[in-house]
Structure 1
Amino acid sequence: MTTVARSAALRSREDTDLPGRLARSAATTGAGAELVTRNFPAWLAERRRAHRFRVERIPFADLRGWSFREPGGNLGHHSGRFFTVEGLRATVGEGPFRQWQQPIIHQPEVGILGILTREIDGVLHFLMQAKMEPGNRNLLQLSPTVQATRSNYTKVHRGADVRYLEFFTDPRRGRVLTDVLQSEHGSWFLRKANRNMLVEAVGEVPPHEDFRWLTLGQIGELLRLDSVVNMDARTVLACLPAFAPGGERSRALHSDSGLLSWITSQRSRHEVRIESVPLGEVEGWRRGESSIEREDGRFFRVVAVEVEAGNREVSGWTQPLLEPSGLGVTAFLTRRIGGTPHLLAHARVEGGLLDVLELAPTVQCVPENYAHLPADARPPFLDQVLAAGPDRIRYSAVHSEEGGRFLNAESRYLVVDCGEDVPADPPPGHLWLTPAQLSSLARHARYVNVQARTLLACVNAGAVEGL
């Protein structure tokens, strides 16, 4: 045995105190917390008034630094950084759409989505930012402490430094509680991933007027409101370890090994072929002066905007955005099996995912895109979710998707109690699992998609009744 091996210090493989600390934070919502949740909307409105924000649609010809490159017509930035809008051809083995072509965002660089945490009066608090994103309908929402692409924090745009970045890049400044590479929207991004980090600060954290410390319980209260907590904050909160203060964590309909085997079998049986094609050659899409869209107007379009933002690293810029065609519906069905809450997950294939499919909510679609199809070709369980009465709805709020790349992309997120209307043995491609099992999977890359992570964040923060 070497001297190094004899002197090496061993440590616990798990932070056994963290679940309890998270549970205390989730239970703290009112008196004694630094910011009382009921006053938060006024603070957010004050930060909106403190800076100048403006977003206007423009024709593609007015984009600065962006152009359609020949040959092929891909839309990219002159620096070669940030992202490009390219074309994709997909072929799958089942479903109402077996082949399709579409524009897709290619952004190979990995960004950082990081939330800084520390204890205040013995309770874990999270440092959240009032951040403007051009695609959000109300512009300013609650975001992680750091939300930056590599191009941002390496200052390709020659802008200001990203505030608090050092806590996530310098190991001496914080203790990592969570760090996982997670996918982004698989229907709109080509194999895009970001680091999702939770870091406990070491030393002082300088204050700033655009940031506030909130408990997990306060964030849970805000997650019940429409369009307040942004997507990037939600995906980080989904990566917290399961703590389930009021639920059963050790029992489930399927074992963890059985669950992993089911996911592997789903990935193995799907035949998916993905090919890149030039944007200018994508079939069924047409390019006008101000948009690239399908001939039937469904799904989404590519548009361009000019942005002014007083509190961003760069105060003004232009860029392309993807704009969906309508309000999405994203829902988990839930029921108790053997007294334990379960969620009905869908093994969802998306063209931009690296590993064929990830676990998605039971329903994830824009209903108008399927209105022309016969009933048996509509997404399974969609009509059941749309028909759910108030007595069945355990959670409902409208949330924005990624506002840095998508314009007015919003979905109504729901958790709907289906009772015993859906059996314990659901249709193919669906499986019951517990929230704790979903949390365990979200601690690893490429198992839980970004929409499912939004609803998992709501569960983790205590925003969903009965879970």
Structure 2
Amino acid sequence: MRSALAEESRVHRPDSFATWFAAARERSGLRVDRVRLDGLRDWDRDPRTGTLRHRSGGFFTIGGLDVRFPSGPVPHWQQPIIHQPEIGILGLLAREFDGVLHFLMQAKVEPGNRNHLQLSPTVQATRSNYLRLHQGRAVPYLEYFQDRSRHQVMADVLQSEQGAWFFRKRNRNIVLEVTEDIAVGEDFRWMTLGQIYRQLAAEDIVNMDTRTALSCLPLTGGDTDGAPESGDGFRDALVRSCAGEPGGAHSMNDLLSWITEHRAQGDLTTGPVPLNGLSDWHSSPERISHASGRFFSVIGVNVSAGTREVGGWAQPMVEPHGTGLIAVLVKEIDGVLHVLMQAGAEPGYVDGVELSPTVQCVPESYEVLPGAARPRYLDDMLSAPADRIRFSCLLSEEGGRFHHALNRYLVVEAEGDAGALEDRDHRWLTLHQLGALLRHSHYLNVQARSLVACLHSLLAPRPR
């Protein structure tokens, strides 16, 4: 909490961030060129199924998936999906300076980032990368996360990624506290949580992997003495929500039973199908795209980068069509801020159902979907007045696999009776309860974890 409230630090002055970040951008020399899918260097299409795979056998493949969801608004569809069974590392190193935790952040380029450079965790690497299948340089600071015996583990949990685009993809989110001196590379920087949270309020600076790692920090339920009553009703309700007292609108036992019931009764099933025979999808030498022009396409890119472990490569990427909306309704219940979460099913989840935001969609997609598919609270989010919006920022998803995947992240104060806003798929949870679930795998999806980080950022001092 002290770190979340700390804007100033002798290790890193806030006003020097822009200079450091601009210098890292200049060094990166990233260039991304769109190319045909056929002929991607070191990638092949299976002549029988059309599956895209790297010649090394590592990294990831793109295949076809058949999805059946009898109780859903769309009972059957097919789509391309990314298979990446290996578990990557999203690691943050933490260290106290002057009694305040700082986190070693990295300015890292990814080919799918709209602005190329973003604020990333200390280590952000797939297993293929850190095993150096690309025959490039070693991943800096990886050794701390491979041998954790000398360091204090603050968080260590497997978490899912986008269930609509990845099939059962997981990453290990690790936060380690160290006490020893560490040589800091020129693209790395110690920052307090407050300084990171300030950048989270800026458009498209803090990347998805940082947001998910930050959400797993044990901020909730700890000492909130550093955040006394401020007279700001919303912020005071947020502090009480993190502290976990008084209790939430629902007990943890009831919430766990609600999630388990959704998983037990879920009827979403999946099976592999050839990529080159997907219904409603067109496959060409240039790309794979849906007949409607909506949802997403699979494209090819050539990449060159001076500050990555390898100087150049080619790869396929998922390119979404349209800017998404990732939003939660929040409401003060008995003096404690609650978040309206949804039990959502996606084809790529290990357990079928995870907690997702109140609304998670690309609004333009509903032009070609049944009316029943339109999220219940979408129109409320789209028309929310400015005085009810507590957080709004355009942020991107993971730039290693997705090309310019942009979402508007929103936190909106709800109006009306709290109980009337719940239904079979929606429940109110406190930040303390969300934090308890984040100690375990597969309870909150990656978009929900990003919003937890956004909500935590509202504890920080407001920008002057």
Normalised-by-shorter TM-score class: over 0.9
> Aligned residue for 1:261?
257
What whole-Å deviation, never above 9, does each CA across 1:30-58 have from its counterpart, x for those lacking one? 3x342233432332112111231100100
Residue among 41, 49, 65 paired with 2:42: 65
> Aligned residue for 1:131?
108
Residue among 170, 187, 192 paired with 2:169: 192
Amino acid at match of 1:290: E
Q: Distance in 2 between matches of 1:159 and 1:125?
A: 29
Q: Distance in 2 between matches of 1:404 and 1:192?
A: 14
Amino acid at match of 1:247: R
> Aligned residue for 2:442?
446
Contact 1:240 1:460 in 2 (8 A): no
What whole-Å deviation, never above 9, does each CA across 1:378-417 have from its counterpart, x for those lacking one? 1110000000011000100011101000000010000000
- Tell me, yes or no, if structure 1 residue 27 matches structure 2 residue 23: no
Amino acid at match of 2:264: S
Aligned identity (percent) is 50
Contact 1:458 1:464 in 2 (8 A): no
Give 1:159-174 correspondences, 5 Å limit.
159-174=136-151
Give 1:74-85 correspondences, 5 Å limit.
74-85=51-62
> Aligned residue for 1:36?
13
> Aligned residue for 1:391?
387
Amino acid at match of 2:145: F
Contact 1:168 1:174 in 2 (8 A): no
**354-363 or 270-279, which deviates more:** 270-279
- Tell me, yes or no, if structure 1 residue 247 matches structure 2 residue 240: yes
Residue among 453, 458, 463 paired with 1:457: 453
What whole-Å deviation, never above 9, does each CA across 1:301-329 have from its counterpart, x for those lacking one? 00000001111000100000000001000
Amino acid at match of 2:452: L
> Aligned residue for 2:235?
none
How far did 1:181 drift? 0.3
Q: Distance in 2 between matches of 1:243 and 1:340?
A: 13
Residue among 122, 128, 132 paired with 2:99: 122
Q: Distance in 2 between matches of 1:420 and 1:311?
A: 51
Amino acid at match of 2:72: G
Q: Distance in 2 between matches of 1:352 and 1:61?
A: 26
SS in 2 for 1:233: helix
- For residues 389 and 425 of structure 1, do their structure 2 counterparts lie closer, same or farther at Cα, with a shift above 3 Å needed? closer
Contact 1:185 1:450 in 2 (8 A): yes
Amino acid at match of 2:304: E
SS in 2 for 1:416: strand
Q: Distance in 1 between matches of 2:250 and 2:258?
A: 10
Give 1:64-463 correspondences, 5 Å limit.
64-243=41-220, 245=224, 246-248=239-241, 249-250=244-245, 251-373=247-369, 376-420=372-416, 423=419, 426-462=422-458
- For residues 465 and 262 of structure 1, do their structure 2 counterparts lie closer, same or farther at Cα, with a shift above 3 Å needed? farther
Q: Distance in 2 between matches of 1:408 and 1:386?
A: 22
Contact 1:29 1:218 in 2 (8 A): yes
How far did 1:439 drift? 1.1
Q: Distance in 1 between matches of 2:121 and 2:139?
A: 12
**344-353 or 248-257, which deviates more:** 248-257
Contact 1:223 1:463 in 2 (8 A): no
Contact 2:5 2:459 in 1 (8 A): no
Q: Distance in 2 between matches of 1:61 and 1:55?
A: 17
How many residue pairs align between the two structures? 443
Q: Distance in 2 between matches of 1:116 and 1:346?
A: 32
How far did 1:70 drift? 2.4
What whole-Å deviation, never above 9, does each CA across 1:281-319 have from its counterpart, x for those lacking one? 211111122210001111100000000111100010000
- For residues 422 and 374 of structure 1, do their structure 2 counterparts lie closer, same or farther at Cα, with a shift above 3 Å needed? farther
**372-381 or 192-201, which deviates more:** 372-381
> Aligned residue for 1:4?
none
What whole-Å deviation, never above 9, does each CA across 1:187-206 have from its counterpart, x for those lacking one? 00000000000011242211
Q: Distance in 2 between matches of 1:273 and 1:313?
A: 38
Amino acid at match of 1:50: R
- Tell me, yes or no, if structure 1 residue 47 matches structure 2 residue 24: yes
Q: Distance in 1 between matches of 2:339 and 2:315?
A: 38
How far did 1:372 drift? 4.5
**367-376 or 285-294, which deviates more:** 367-376
- For residues 210 and 424 of structure 1, do their structure 2 counterparts lie closer, same or farther at Cα, with a shift above 3 Å needed? same
How far did 1:435 drift? 1.2
Show structure 1 runs of 5+ residues with no match. Answer: 1-22
How far did 1:424 drift? 5.1
**58-67 or 123-132, which deviates more:** 58-67
SS in 2 for 1:322: strand
Amino acid at match of 1:27: L
Q: Distance in 2 between matches of 1:427 and 1:459?
A: 23
Contact 2:220 2:431 in 1 (8 A): no
TM-score by length of 2: 0.92
Q: Distance in 1 between matches of 2:90 and 2:67?
A: 29
Q: Distance in 1 between matches of 2:373 and 2:164?
A: 19
- For residues 362 and 201 of structure 1, do their structure 2 counterparts lie closer, same or farther at Cα, with a shift above 3 Å needed? same
Contact 1:26 1:462 in 2 (8 A): no
**37-46 or 352-361, which deviates more:** 37-46
> Aligned residue for 1:12?
none
What whole-Å deviation, never above 9, does each CA across 1:40-95 have from its counterpart, x for those lacking one? 23321121112311001001233111010122110000111100000001111323
